[in-house]
Amino acid sequence: MASLGELERAVMDLLWAGHEAATANTLRDLLAQSTAAHGGAAGHEGKDLAVTTVLTVLSRLEKKGLVERERGTRPHRYQAVSSREDHTAELMHEVLGSAPDREAVLARFIGSVTESEAETLRKLLGHS
């Protein structure tokens, strides 16, 4: 049985790739297919994946603000809140941005550099 973390990742990959809302049942089938495609032993486990597990994973993702469900329909259809690229951009914004807490949250190899500094460094590279 794959861990919840791996399943979260697999579900998000499906939602990001699909671009449209999907029910837990659809997602379960897609997950089973993709694990089957990745090899025999894993494929067997994939078939055992219960819809309730997929629902657990979806509600965890919903709590994290990554997935939303369409309330009108039944069964609920789930979709990604924003694209993979947007989430990456959000993450990089946090890394490169100038929020006062950022310096304490993570340690960057290179902090912010001004354009003139970068120019000096480029010249340095040209010489070496």
- Residue 20 as a binder of other proteins (CB under 8 A): the answer is no
Distance CA 12, CA 19 (A): 11
Cβ at position 76, least distance to other proteins in Å: 21
What's the min distance (Å) between Cβ of 41 and other proteins? 21
Nearby residues of 95 by Cβ (< 8 Å), 6 or more positions away: 102, 106, 108
Rule CB under 8 A: is residue 25 a binding residue for other proteins? no
Say which DSSP state 55 is in.
H
Integer Rg of the chain from CA = 21
| Under rule CB under 8 A, residue 3 binds other proteins | no
- Is the CB of 72 or the CB of 114 nearer to other proteins? 114
- Taking the C-alpha atoms of residue 67 and residue 8, their distance in angstroms, rounded to an integer, is 11
Residue (40 or 98) nearer to other proteins, CB: 98
Could you say whether residue 38 binds other proteins (CB under 8 A)? no
Q: Burial code of 44-79, b = ≥16 C-beta within 10 A, e = fewer?
A: eebeebeeebbbebbebbeeeebbbbeeeeeebbbe
The interface mask with other proteins, positions 81-100, x = CB under 8 A, is: --xxxxxxxxxxxxxxxx--
# residues near other proteins by CB under 8 A: 44
Binding site for other proteins (CB under 8 A): 5, 8-9, 12, 64, 66, 83-98, 101, 103-115, 117-119, 121-122, 124-125, 128
